[in-house]
Structures are given as structure tokens and as C-alpha cells.
Amino acid sequence: MTGQVQGKVALVTGGSSGIGAAVSELLAREGAAVVVTDIDDLKGPEVVAGIKKAGHEAVFLHQDVTSEPRWAEVVAEVEKRFGRLDILVSNAGIGISVPSIVHMSLEDWRRQTAINLDGVFLSVKHCLPAMRRRGGGSIIMMSSLAGLRGAQTLAGYCATKGGVRLFAKAIAMECASFGDGIRVNSVHPGIIDTPIWGKIPMEASGSGTNAPIDPEERARLAAPLGRAGHAMEIAQGVLYLASDASRYVTGTELVIDGGMNAGGVVRQ
């Protein structure tokens, strides 16, 4: 441990699983008190128990990121317990894949947008005032490679993640105008081996395509580095953006994708 976020208080949404769990563990290991929030009340407390067992500070709060009243309660609880909020990692998200956009129901489109985009908007709306009260902070929004490029079968997901990318830039400009050093950046993972791949509902709109997606196989073919990424490899990027090492970095996008955005590879 090098104490890169020592003494800071971090809130990580979607912290019960995958990238959010890895981010929570790494920020805690590097000295932050971490508030893990999620709708998953089974795995979230397990993540927190693991962090505490390693001798670090964390707490789990149930939170659906689409609920505005809950956002107000969560931020009030964080300030009551810890007296400050320094780092927001707006990470909770889902993916819905359909063979053609014409198969997507409006209900699925809205559910995905509510979690991936409304949830990020609400996180900033409620956390930014707390950061301004303490006079600084770092906001990190989890976008995707699909927020930079189109992805077949994931048009709705791309729309939300592209929205997150530009939302981050606009909020970075707003925060820069305050002059109190609050920075805002987006992170763009490629294919990362997390439980999200098993949850992507291919069958959501009755398309009949129901084959599970294997991230390792997909990445072996598509990623120049020839493998899927690990959640901790995304967490390392988040740690950089959360820490003072990135104090001159705002409004940018950190792509962690094994080279996918740089070009294509032909695998034998």
C-alpha cells in the first residue's frame, strides 16, 4: 500500500460486483474510506467484509442509482458518517444486447438509460454539492469502449455510454469554472472479464438469440493484447484519476482496452 488516496472518502456505485468491487478494494487499500453502494444486498456486504478483514475502512449502503430520493439520503449519510466526500466513482451499469435495434422494446431502452445515464446524472447532482462544501474532489464516470465506437447489437448501450462520455466533459467544464479543483473524467474499459457478460440479456426482446457471451473468447479475437482485461486493471486507472497524481487531468477519457480502440487485429 502506498496511500495514494489516504484520508479521502470515496463513494462507488455498483460496488457489489466486477469493476466496482475491484475499485472499492483498491481505493480502500490505498487509504480511502469507501462507501460501497448497490442494489445487490448479498454481494455488497461481502465486498465490504473483505475490505474490513484486510484492515481497511468501508461501509455498504443499499442504493438504486435511479432513485433521486435515495441519492439525497445516501449523500447525507456519507457526510454524517465521514464529514466529507472526495471521490465519486459512478460505475453502476447494465448492458442489453439485441441482434437488431428493431427488436428492442421501449421498456428495455428506458431501463438501460435510467441506470446507465440517469443514474450518472443523479450521482453528480447529489455528490457535487458535497464536494463543493469540502472544496475539492474527483468524479470518475464509467463509460465504455462502446462510448467511443459503435458496437453491433449494443446500440442502446452505446447511446448511454456515449452520453456519459460527453456528460463528463461538460461537467468538467462546469467544475473548472468553480476554481476549487474538482476534476471530472471518464473511463472506457474494453472487454473485461466480469459477471456483466453473464447478465447481458440477449433474449430481452424475443429475438431468439440466447447464446451466452464468453468475454475471454471475444477478447482473444478482438483485443490486440489477445485477452480480456481484469477488473483490477480498470481499478488501477480509476485510482490514478481519484488520486492527486492526476491533479492536472480533467475532461479526459482514459481508455483501458488492450489496444482495441487503436485498431484491429487479425488472429490466426
Catalytic residues: 157
* Angle, CA 61 vertex, CA 138 and CA 50 arms, to 5°: 85
How many whole angstroms separate alpha carbon 136 and alpha carbon 144?
A: 26
225 counts as binding ligand NAD under rule CB under 6 A? no
For ligand NAD, the closer CB: 132 or 169: 169
Single residue of 97, 112, 123, 144 touching ligand NAD by CB under 6 A: 144
For ligand NAD, the closer CB: 91 or 246: 91
23 counts as binding ligand NAD under rule CB under 6 A? no
20 counts as binding ligand NAD under rule CB under 6 A? yes
Restricted to residues 62-101, the positions that interact with ligand NAD (CB under 6 A) are: 63-66, 91-95
204 counts as binding ligand NAD under rule CB under 6 A? no
C-alpha cell at 91: 460505475
Phi, psi of 256 (to 5 degrees): -130, 90
Rounded to 10 degrees, the C-alpha dihedral 20/64/123/7 comes to -50
195 counts as binding ligand NAD under rule CB under 6 A? yes
Q: What is the CA radius of gyration of the chain?
A: 18
Smallest gap from Cβ 103 to ligand NAD, in A, equals 20
17 counts as binding ligand NAD under rule CB under 6 A? yes
Inter-residue contact 28 to 52 (CB < 8 Å): no
Q: Which string of DSSP letters, residue by residue, matches 207-265?
A: -S--PPP-HHHHHHHH-TTSSPBPHHHHHHHHHHHHSGGGTT--S-EEEESTTGGG---
Single residue of 4, 10, 11, 13 touching ligand NAD by CB under 6 A: 13
32 counts as binding ligand NAD under rule CB under 6 A? no
Which residues bind to ligand NAD, rule: CB under 6 A? 13-14, 16-20, 38-40, 63-66, 91-95, 115, 142, 144, 189, 191-192, 194-196, 199
